[in-house]
Structure 1
C-alpha cells in the first residue's frame, strides 16, 4: 500500500515489523512527521473514526516535551512512550523528524520493548538506501 509519506515498500515493512513483534494484538499503525501523518494499518474489526490529527499533534508535542524534560537526567536518553487506556495501549517511538505510534491490545513489557526496538530500527533506516 503506497501512502503519501511512505513508499509502498516502507509501508509494508512497518506493518510486517509490527505484526511480527506483537502479532494479533496489533490494532493500528500511524506514521507521522511534524507536518503530516498516514495511518498505514488498521485492524479490520476497528472503525476509522479516531481523530488522528489531534493524536499526532499531542504525540509530537509529547515527544518534544519528554525529550527536553529528561535531557541529561540520570535516567538516560528518552526511548519511547507507552500510554495505557481502557481498551488498549499506544506505543510511540519518535525521532527528531518522524515517528510511529502503534495501538495494541494487551501486551507484556517484553512485547512493548520488542515493538519499540523494531520501530526505532525502521525509523533509523529511512536514510539508508539499502534498507
Structure 2
C-alpha cells in the first residue's frame, strides 16, 4: 500500500473535508481517501499525532470493494457503508467502484453516520 500526497486534486480533497466537517463537526478526527493500492490522508485534526498506520487501516478497508458484491441480493438490501466502533472513536467507510473514503470521529450517532455516508457516496460518485 502506497501513501500518496496528491492522490486527489486539492479541490476534491477540500470537498470531502468540508462534507465531513459539516456532518461531524468538531468530532471529526481524520479523512482518508483510498483506492486498491494507494491512499491519502486528506485531513487530520490538529490535536492528533500523524503516526497512525494508514496503510494497515486501508488494507482492511479495501474489503469494502468486495462488500457490494458479497451482499448483493441480501434480504437486507444493497450494501451501503460500514461503521466500526473502537474504544476511542468510530470509523465510517464508504466505497464506490474502485475508490473509497474512511472517516474517523470521536462520537457518532446512527443518524449522523447515515448523513456522513450519504455525503461521501455522493462525492465518490461525482467526477
Q: Into which bin does the TM-score normalised by the smaller protein fall?
A: over 0.9
Specify the alignment match of 2:14 in structure 1.
12
Could you say which structure has the higher helix fraction?
1
**Whole-Å separation in 1 of the counterparts to 2:86 and 2:111:** 18
CA contact (8 A) 2:65 2:98 kept: no
Name the residue aligned to 1:40.
42
Q: Which residue of 2 is the match for residue 110 of structure 1?
A: 111
CA distance in 2, matches of 1:75, 1:69: 12
Q: Which aligned runs of 4 or more in structure 1 are off by greater than 2 angstroms?
A: 64-69
Paired residues in the alignment total: 123
With the length of structure 2 as denominator, give the TM-score of the two structures: 0.92
**Unaligned 5+ residue runs, structure 1?**
127-131
Partner of 1:129: none
SS at match of 1:78: coil
- Say what the alpha-carbon RMSD is for the aligned residues: 1.1
Q: Normalized against structure 1, the TM-score is what? A: 0.90
1:28, distance to aligned residue in structure 2 (A): 0.2
Alpha-carbon separation, structure 2, partners of 1:99 and 1:54: 15
Per-residue deviation, 1:96: 1.6
Q: Say if 2:89 and 2:107, in contact at 8 Å, map to a contact too.
A: yes
SS of residue in 2 equivalent to 1:76:
coil
